[in-house]
């Protein structure tokens, strides 16, 4: 059957051919493996990211790569997924969440004691800036050394998790942070081009690869779950399932933080909004 070729801007010459059928094949496989919905407007993004895998295997077309992927899914799936997933993050992104954590949630948890146990999950943690921002906020809240504190950082992309484990970032990632906060959080490299998260914060954070659509090898309850700017890639039914599962790992009164473009309206009734993309388990 003849395959149609997607329109491209006049004069643009692409390195590889990606037909409509190729894009449909990628979209279907991405949905099956990750739950991510790749609509038509994502075509250029898909091209640029999967073209890296075509080059890596010294192939000449998307069709050749997709045939290889189908035949070698076990070994190639992780690289395919890593190429597609988006890993935009920064320290203290959406700062109102961290202010609320410091000023309200953590003091309440300390006052209630709860066996001096604190558990926070950063789901979709990317390269770790969110998890380390949480760790810094916990430290600033003044928990004593006898507290059992663990921050779980999970992501689908194994490459970004390794970056998180190392805790080394370009100096530019600290732009906009207060000098005192930088001093407390990081050590500077000798050449001044990078920073490393201090060990006292790294010891709080545990990185683990996890696909939100599969079984979760995690134990609750969590006091707070951050899942921000992740579910926007999923369809409504998948979102409903995910939020129900998050609710099952939170006690009554536990909190869920979601992204600025997300909401639970009409999707999950197990949470009560407390404003600015913050929810309490009903």
List residues with catalytic annotation: 49, 155
- If you ran DSSP here, which 8-state letter would residue 269 be given? S
Closest CA to 198 of 209, 188, 208, 190: 188
- If you ran DSSP here, which 8-state letter would residue 259 be given? -
Question: Alpha-carbon torsion 23, 48, 174, 127, what sign?
Answer: positive
Q: In whole angstroms, what is the distance from residue 165 CA to residue 153 CA?
A: 10
User: What's the Cα-to-Cα distance from 189 to each of 160, 170, 174, 180, 196, rounded to whole Å?
Assistant: 20, 10, 13, 17, 7
Question: Alpha-carbon torsion 35, 262, 84, 245, what sign?
Answer: negative
Q: Which two tokens stand for residue 270?
A: 């197990």
Beta strands in 4-82 (DSSP E): none
Instruction: Give the largest Cα separation in the chain, rounded.
Output: 68
What residues pair up with 281 in beta bridges, in sequence order? Answer: 271
Q: Which two tokens stand for residue 93?
A: 């992104």
User: What's the Cα-to-Cα distance from 220 to each of 119, 151, 152, 272, rounded to whole Å?
Assistant: 8, 12, 11, 20
Q: Are 188 and 143 in contact (CB under 8 A)?
A: no
ω into residue 226 within 30 of 0, thus cis?
no
């Amino acid at each position: 059957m003849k395959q149609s070729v997607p329109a491209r801007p006049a004069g643009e010459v692409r390195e590889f051919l990606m037909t409509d059928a190729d894009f449909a094949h990628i979209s279907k496989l991405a949905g099956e493996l990750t739950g991510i919905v790749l609509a038509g407007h994502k075509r250029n993004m898909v091209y640029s990211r999967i073209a890296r895998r075509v080059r890596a295997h010294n192939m000449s077309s998307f069709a050749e790569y997709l045939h290889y992927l189908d035949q070698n899914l076990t070994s190639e799936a992780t690289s395919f997924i890593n190429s597609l997933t988006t890993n935009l993050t920064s320290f203290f992104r959406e700062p109102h969440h961290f202010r609320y954590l410091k000023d309200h949630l953590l003091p309440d948890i300390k006052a209630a004691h709860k066996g001096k146990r604190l558990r926070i999950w950063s789901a979709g943690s990317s390269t770790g800036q969110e998890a380390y921002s949480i760790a810094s906020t916990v430290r600033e809240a003044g928990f004593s050394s006898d507290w059992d504190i663990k921050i779980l950082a999970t992501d689908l992309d194994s490459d970004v998790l390794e970056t998180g484990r190392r805790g080394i970032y370009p100096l530019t990632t600290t732009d906009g942070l207060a000098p005192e906060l930088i001093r407390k959080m990081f050590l500077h490299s000798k050449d001044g081009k990078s920073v490393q998260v201090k060990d006292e914060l790294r010891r709080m954070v545990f990185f683990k690869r996890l696909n939100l659509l599969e079984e979760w090898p995690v134990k609750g309850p969590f006091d707070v779950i951050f899942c921000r700017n992740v579910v926007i890639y999923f369809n409504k039914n998948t979102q409903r399932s995910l939020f129900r599962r998050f609710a099952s790992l939170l006690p009554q009164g536990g909190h869920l933080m979601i992204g600025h473009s997300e909401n639970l309206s009409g999707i999950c009734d197990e949470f009560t909004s407390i404003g600015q993309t913050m929810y309490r388990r009903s």
